[in-house]
Amino acid sequence: MSFRLADSHTHLDEPELRHQKEAVLARAREAGVALVINVGIGRENSRHAVATAARFPEVYASVGVHPHGAAKVQPQDLEALAKLAAHPKVVAVGEIGLDFYRRRSPEKVQEHWFMEQLALAHDLKKPVVIHTREATAATLKILREGRRHLWGGVMHCFQGDLSEAMAFLDLGLFLSFSGVLTFPKAEPLRQVARHVPLDRVLVETDCPYLAPQPWRGKTNEPAYVTATARNLAQLHNLDLEETARLTWQNTLKAFGLDGKGEDIQPSAEPKA
Ligand SMILES: [Zn+2]
Ligand SMILES: [Zn+2]
């Protein structure tokens, strides 16, 4: 294998994947995917994300409550997240943000817990993993008001236009492209991806959701991030190796893992 890839956003502890993590990560290694960020979506799920990271050398974790769950958050959940974040393999707070598309929680409540978790990330000196859907203006407003307090972060599954991309880059954030980049109807997004600087771009699966072509509709897994990386490579007239190298470096940078890259050696035998 002449390249190694990082999958910057996964949910290995969702029901579709959690009973087959060994096999899923073995297939990832075979495909060249040597670093996986496992992202929490709630207090319990974040606990699982950290346990999985503790078990597999190539897996790191992010802890947070997804905007869908905002209506059910209790103040003590934030204390629990802070405790979890003390684990050495927790690299970020997230995913947090705003989702005005599904609106599973009221907008004001989402905004409240987004800001609370941004403050938590600031206290912990950790970057954030941000989810935003049909809420770009509100997301930007909150991030801009708190920009002095940001320790960096990633706009995950980025699907905005070029001006939105530039606004988030302006805040010092990275943009992460998912399998959506490979969808036939995603030509506008591919145009955006063509124009963003390659030192600020990551790739992700968001597995088990959003499988890229040619696996669309199937359960997504980290091995499939290769399809998104290949697509990004084509858009920039680069080979896969160079794209893998760049996005790998960016992922290390985004999650404060600089200098640890050589230590991330996936073992065939995970810790029991
Ligand atoms: Zn998300
Ligand atoms: Zn996600």
pLDDT tens figures, 100-138: 998 889 999 999 999 999 999 999 999 999 999 999 999
Question: How far, in Å, is the centroid of ligand 2 from the Cα of 158?
Answer: 11
- pLDDT score of 261: 66
- pLDDT score of 262: 64
Question: How far, in Å, is the centroid of ligand 2 from the Cα of 9?
Answer: 6
Q: Taking ligand 2, which is a single-atom ion, which protein residues have CB atoms under 5 Å away?
A: 206
Contact present, 182 and 215 (Cβ < 8 Å):
no
Q: Amino acid letter at 106?
A: P
Question: How far, in Å, is the centroid of ligand 2 from the Cα of 19?
Answer: 18
- pLDDT score of 265: 63
Question: How far, in Å, is the centroid of ligand 2 from the Cα of 11?
Answer: 6
For residue 96, the cross-strand partners are 130
- pLDDT score of 92: 98
User: What is the SS3 assignment for 172-221?
Assistant: CCEEEECHHHHCCCCHHHHHHHHHCCHHHEEECCCECCCCCCCCCCCCCC
pLDDT digits (tens, 9 = 90+) for 95-107: 999 999 988 899 9
pLDDT digit of tens for each residue in the chain (272 aa)?
Answer: 589 999 999 999 999 999 999 999 999 999 999 999 999 999 999 999 999 999 999 999 999 999 999 999 999 999 999 999 999 999 999 999 999 998 889 999 999 999 999 999 999 999 999 999 999 999 999 999 988 789 999 999 999 999 999 999 999 999 999 999 999 999 999 999 999 999 999 999 999 999 999 999 999 999 999 999 999 999 999 999 999 999 999 999 999 998 776 667 655 444 44
Name the pTM for this structure: 0.95
- pLDDT score of 1: 56
Neighbours of 222 (CB within 10 A): 30
- pLDDT score of 263: 65
- pLDDT score of 124: 97
Question: How far, in Å, is the centroid of ligand 1 from the Cα of 158?
Answer: 9
Neighbours of 125 (CB within 10 A): 9
- pLDDT score of 270: 47
How many Å apart are CA 22 and CA 28, to the nearest integer? 10
